[in-house]
Amino acid sequence: MPRKVTSKDLFELSFVSDPQLSPNGRLAAVVLTRIIPADDDKAEASKAAGAKTNGDEPSAPRYQSRVQLLDLGGKERPTPIEFTRSEYSDRAPRFSPNGAELAFLSVREEKGKAQLYLMSLTGGEAQRLTEHRSGVEEHAFQPGGRAIAYTSRGDWHDEVAERGAARRISKRHWRAQGIGVLPDAPITVYLFDLASNESRELVELAEDAANLVFSSDGATLFLISPSAEDSTSLFRADIVAIDVVSGKQTTLRERVLGLSALAPSPDGTSLAYCASFDQEDFVSAQGLWLLPLANGKAGEPRLISEQIEVQPSVGGDSRYGAYPDRPVWLDDGQPWRG
């Protein structure tokens, strides 16, 4: 018999996000997030510790995210296979270029920070690659699978919050929904060499960095970063290219409004990206742009989607997780935005 929906039904919601295809297209990795209600959370913690509940107040409901694999080779609807089993958060799955391993970010303890892990698709124990006190924010495989680029704030931690002291606000953009107080430390781009199991600093950026993606030859790392704090407040950012060997930083395009989703072409002659098609209008819809590249320099970008809105409408307060929106280059060398 049908019944009325209650607030407790919200705890039954699950969220599938960040779908990733393996290089051969036979596997897909997704992040499944569910809500652990307060009572279940308390029971799981007590069970893990081998103790009985003692009547203490249960902790608040929390999200739990795990990576699942789906075999796309059959004719039937694939059955998800749980690939990771963190009690807190596994996210950002990325297949290695040879399709044999999966890199992901994982939080293994309450109030812990995400670290970078690597695990064979045949199973076994995941290998922890980083131990930064501030955690890892984003990562990307270098073509050829020799290394993984990632961003972190190193050993920074919020001492003000730990002491419970008054916080001095010096930036307009100092807090974000779902994040809280934004770190005031610079972010560093690292390159982890999988042969030596060592990481090195590529470049330190004063503002945030996101959307890491390599050129097809692996020699250049592209990313999005605001040139200054006022750019962040105005929703503008720069397209930055970093030489993987020297760490030399080149700004290809400055103060782009609504910038997201970098996608270098396979032949290295251009870079597709999404941005507001009217660069002087804050409420302008997203368009698909093409930036010519030659000898490490950028030409004038052109809008190739005309007045068509290319931003996928999957976001909102009822969603949880990342939703990839990067343009994809087709075999004929043309960018396609799905």
Query: pLDDT truncated to tens, each residue of the chain (338 aa)?
Result: 788 988 888 888 899 999 999 999 999 999 999 998 886 545 555 555 555 545 555 578 889 999 999 999 888 889 999 999 999 999 999 999 999 999 999 999 988 999 999 999 998 899 999 999 999 999 999 999 999 999 999 998 888 878 888 888 877 777 776 667 777 788 999 999 999 999 999 999 988 899 999 999 999 999 999 977 777 778 899 999 999 999 999 999 999 999 999 999 999 999 999 999 999 998 888 999 999 999 889 999 999 998 888 876 655 556 678 888 889 898 766 776 55
> What is the pTM (predicted TM-score) of this model?
0.88
DSSP 8-state assignment for residue 257: E
User: What's the token pair of residue 109?
Assistant: 């303890």
The tokens for 172 are 């307009």
What would you measure as the largest C-alpha separation in the chain, in angstroms?
68
Does residue 59 contact residue 9 with C-beta atoms inside 8 Å?
A: no
Please give the structure tokens belonging to residue 265: 């072409």
DSSP one-letter string for 123-156: -SPPEE----TT-EEEEEEPTTSSEEEEEE-TT-
Sign of CA dihedral 93, 325, 244, 204: negative
